Structure 1
Amino acid sequence: MNIAFFLTPKNEVVYEKPNSTMRQALERMEYHRYTSVPLVDESGIYVGTLTEGDLLWKLKNTPNLSFNDTNKIIIKDIPRHISNKAVSISADIESLISLSKYQNFVPVVDDNGVFIGIIKRSDIITYCYNLLYGNDELKTSI
């Protein structure tokens, strides 16, 4: 199966730019109720994932940092504690499932590393559930 079937395209994904501020990221993540967002640079290249944990560690490890001062912190200067991997649009489903064990979403890039969207772990779980139990099982449990 082609993983493009699962793709949520970039234009439907909330992401941040590395030159955005910590405050912008905090507010956007709060508004959408996300615990992590992809980071995409000005050229459209996926450069990592920013998590709530990264933001919390930055707050903890920066003496006297208040919420009001978070507009002075640039995201690219915030250490990331987990390196979320992206997959190529041509990757196989096994690679996708393997990465989804550790990530809420899997970023998808084209052959040039340009970010084209994400695949949500919930969509992968639904796919696997349907493989195991089929649609008949879904109908009887509703």
Structure 2
Amino acid sequence: MNIAFFLLPKAEVAYLSEDATLRQALERMEHHRYSAVPILNSEGGYYGTVTEGDLLWFMKSRPELTFESTSRVKLVEVPLRLNNRAVNIDANMDDLISLAKVQNFVPVVDDRNHFIGLVRRSEIIDYCQKGMSQKL
């Protein structure tokens, strides 16, 4: 099986650019009800994943920061606590599943390291569940 079978294309992914602000990250997560969002660099490559926890810890360590001033803080100033890794579209399923065990989603990049989408852990689990149901 190929990773592309599970791929949610970039056009359907809520992501942030590395020049986004803390406020934009908060609003994007709230709007989509996500607890983590991929960040892309200016060339369209995968930069990392920001989580609600990253944003909360950053804000907690800066008591002078108000919600209004979050629009002046660049997202790249927020330390990312987790190193969510991406896979190449040509990677094997074992690599994808190894990452999906510890990440809610796995970013997928092409041969030029450009972000092309992601694979949600829930999609893999749903696929496996359907396969098990058909065998019963």
Distance 1:7 1:59 in 2: 33
Q: Which runs of 5+ in 1 are unaligned?
A: 138-142
Structure 2 counterpart of 1:15, which letter?
Y
Q: Which runs of 5+ in 2 are unaligned?
A: none
Q: Which runs of 4+ in 1 moved over 6 A?
A: none
Distance 1:108 1:12 in 2: 13
Shift of 1:39: 0.4
**What is the 5 A alignment of 1:1-142?**
1-131=1-131, 133-135=132-134, 137=136
RMSD of aligned alpha carbons: 1.1
Shift of 1:56: 0.3
Shift of 1:62: 1.1
TM-score when normalising by structure 2: 0.96
- % identical aligned pairs: 52
Shift of 1:41: 1.3
Distance 2:118 2:53 in 1: 20
Distance 1:128 1:136 in 2: 11
TM-score when normalising by structure 1: 0.92
